Structure 1
């Protein structure tokens, strides 16, 4: 369970004011001393992420956040970091105390969640110290919220919260399949994996590993080759493979070697669907004809990977874009799970594959760009387009640019 990638685990985050018992509740839910507990307000400063196994759900990421009412200059920065956590959360637990009424910061949080896309539960902690006041119950009822009463100290209500309520809210969470719906048991799939400067020493990158596992789960025969070995591998097979999947950088070589009638795509295109929204990314490609000299383009890298001399996002994509659309395009770069505040200044956002973050983060990026009226596309989709093979690469999904 500990080796399950964080990017495919449900992210459960706890939000609330200082000293309502968020850290204590995490410890009670997990049965471990995961979070530091103190009566001193503001003990939790930065969001704390912990990979856990939460039965009966299985592997999850628990996130402890700073108090919504943190004060001072640093406090406001902590509150903003807490808000950023919400954008990647699959289930929010709003932790309250059994007081007479909600505080303004709590009302604002609940209003945001009620009108947003994130499932949430309201948990009233410390029920061992006081009963739920009728006024608080009526206020929550008026919002359509039925709170769950627990005590992290005594354990009252914890099992029901974990085994019933959390599980029910996450019942629709499904990491999905990468390509299991595109192939059938017993079919052969060839994966083309170049070994270049960006390849990690002694291992494969996460999308390649996840794709292999997905094919094993689909009972497929998986053949892994480097790009120069593809033609030999095809000649050794008694029948054509059901699908060829390549690294985006080897698109042209693979397109030339794959026989007519054999479908092919890339890891990046697969993960564009798995982590994001193919339709939105294709809309981004359609917008490219509107680029003009001086157009500003944001390349968004959701992780802080080590950059190499021929970096795909910072070197190759800008070079290919300038070759295709003119040399006066202006590229800017961002790293991390957050997008810049002023997106309207960009004509296009190019999103990385998002292999190290969860799907909720990528979908939030897409929604944020759409709200700002800025087209967004994905590394793999864009590279396939620039190499003239996008139509072929999206055929396995029944899609077309037309």
Structure 2
């Protein structure tokens, strides 16, 4: 099945005991979430993918209820709100006193499908607008509503760069930062898309670049790990397009124009700025880690040791006030809605935000020459 980061995310929201988990289980066709009359049964978000006709695989997320009055209510509600930035759409299970919650959801500017849960309780009141969910067959109404509001255009790494049938070289260094026994997600997605579009992929490390350049003719594009951006550009830059996996993911997941515009603000750095480096992955930092080691070292070499760095991982992005620059990873583990929520927050607060690949291209003086 398609990776979850490329699937649409639908977050189920509502008050405690409003039928969220019952709805989630009905959509899944299984008991994926615990259902109980006990208040506050759902604690952490429960997520599961299902194939929706006309949409493909979709991630549905069951969340803890609002107005939870248990001892852990504040923490549960914090986790529920953390899911909102990942949503492409909301399903709201209607109940009494929903106005404040619906007003909060409306601030996210995402579609809201209202559902009246009659599958596990009597509904004798008239809520007007909304899907009346009586049994499992009511799923089709939910799916129809989702198809009307979700963009079904498939995300693409290579759109606008090369045509079908192109020849691509993918440079994947296998050093200590490379995951043992597997490829990183960005590399996997690039190979998958190239295969689907009938392209020829030549996969190589960074030690045989000249040999590949001289041996193969008609190379249309070279995609590399950002760590070897300049090395690869020096070999292939005069003969074909060159970019990085991180740049391509920042284009597909985020706002590449804002990232490039923000990177140019490095020109005004004085050497005492505060920089937030945000990593979507949860792997522990390595000795050659690009986010915690290599990029800070490159920035210090350019601007001095007075720069102040803060590092965050996964969902930790709560407080970005006071930073002069945010440098984000490619976001291959996040869906587009999640990355864009961070971009929009940075824009609202007037904070420059760029990404790993764009930053390295800037520091190596090739930003204006990379393809995207």
TM > 0.5 between the two?
yes
C-alpha separation in 1, matches of 2:115 and 2:268: 49
Contact 2:250 2:330 in 1 (8 A): yes
Alpha-carbon separation, structure 2, partners of 1:210 and 1:243: 16
Give per-residue Cα distances to partners, 1:215-252, cap 9 Å, x unaligned.
Answer: 11221111111111121112112x33111111111112
What corresponds to 2:132 in structure 1?
Answer: 149
- SS of equivalent to 1:70: coil
Partner of 1:374: 351
Gaps of 5+ in 1: 138-145, 398-402
Q: Is the CA contact (8 Å cut-off) linking 1:192 and 1:225 kept in structure 2?
A: yes
**Matched residues in 2 for 1:302 and 1:287: separation?**
23
Change (3 A) 1:67 1:183: same
User: Larger deviation: 50-59 or 290-299?
Assistant: 50-59
Which residue number in structure 1 is paired with residue 301 of structure 2?
A: 323
Cα distance in 1 for partners of 2:138, 2:174 equals 52
* Equivalent position of 2:38 in the other structure: 40
1:127 is displaced (CA, Å) by 6.2
Matches within 5 A, 1:3-402: 4-97=2-95, 102-103=96-97, 106-126=98-118, 129-131=121-123, 133-134=125-126, 136-137=127-128, 146-151=129-134, 154-155=135-136, 157-162=138-143, 164-170=144-150, 172-237=151-216, 239-258=217-236, 260-341=238-319, 343-393=320-370, 396-397=371-372
| Secondary structure of 1:182's aligned partner | coil
CA distance in 1, matches of 2:73, 2:164: 54
Give, in whole Å, the separation in 1 of the partners of 2:237 and 2:186. 25
Contact 1:95 1:124 in 2 (8 A): yes
TM-score (norm 2): 0.95
Distance 1:285 1:125, change over 3 A: same
1:78 deviates by: 0.7
Normalised to the residue count of structure 1, the TM-score between the two structures is: 0.88
Alpha carbons 2:22, 2:120 under 8 Å: kept: no
Q: Is the 8 A contact 1:265 1:392 kept in 2?
A: no
- How many positions carry a matched residue from both structures? 372
3-state secondary structure, aligned to 1:245: strand
Counterpart contact for 2:55–2:152, Cα < 8 Å: no
> Unaligned stretches of 5+ in structure 2?
none
Q: Secondary structure at the match of 1:334?
A: strand
Looking at structure 2, the residues matched to 40 and 373 of structure 1 have their Cα atoms a distance apart, in angstroms, of: 44
Task: Measure the CA separation in 2 of the matches of 1:200 and 1:335.
Answer: 17
SS at 1:376's partner residue?
Answer: strand
Structure 1 segments, 4+ long, off by >6 Å, are none
